[in-house]
């Protein structure tokens, strides 16, 4: 079972995730033990890592067309999706703000 992988699909995230079967089962067992809901990912294929990656690549067109449909404005024109650089820049800026706030809080506690 150590060489088996799962290809999972998230409707909410409009994305795929590939992981070893044993990792998925560990997460599922933990959710069962803690009596909590699982994530949004649904298994759509079980196979080797290569098979899972090949199927994800083949299905990526569907994911992209769904994202385009979701990102359309009221007139049906596709909206420009955020690029990765803009998202990373915003995330980095947020982390810097949190670091500054944490530093100020720690300096107050030390005084």
Share of the chain above pLDDT 90, in %: 40
pLDDT surpassing 60 at residue 77: no
**What is Dmax (Cα atoms) for the chain?**
59
Q: 24-76, pLDDT tens digit by residue?
A: 999 999 999 999 998 889 999 999 999 999 999 998 888 888 777 766 544 55
Cα-based torsion angle of the residue sequence 34, 37, 41, 45 in order, rounded to the nearest 10 degrees: 70
What pLDDT does residue 33 have? Answer: 93
Higher-confidence residue of 93 and 27: namely 27
Cα–Cα distance, 8 to 44 (Å, whole number): 6
- Sequence-ordered list of residues with C-beta below 8 angstroms from that of 13, at least 6 positions apart, any chain: 40
């Amino acid at each position: 079972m150590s060489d088996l992988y799962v290809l999972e699909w998230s409707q909410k995230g409009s994305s795929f995730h590939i992981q070893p079967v044993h990792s998925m089962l560990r997460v599922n067992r933990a959710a069962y033990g803690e009596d909590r809901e699982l994530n949004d990912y649904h298994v759509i294929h079980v196979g080797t890592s290569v098979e899972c990656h090949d199927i994800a690549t083949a299905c990526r067109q569907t994911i992209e067309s769904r994202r385009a449909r979701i990102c359309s404005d009221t007139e049906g024109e596709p909206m420009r999706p955020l690029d990765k650089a803009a998202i990373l820049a915003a995330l980095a800026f947020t982390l810097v703000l949190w670091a500054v706030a944490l530093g100020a809080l720690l300096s107050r506690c030390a005084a």
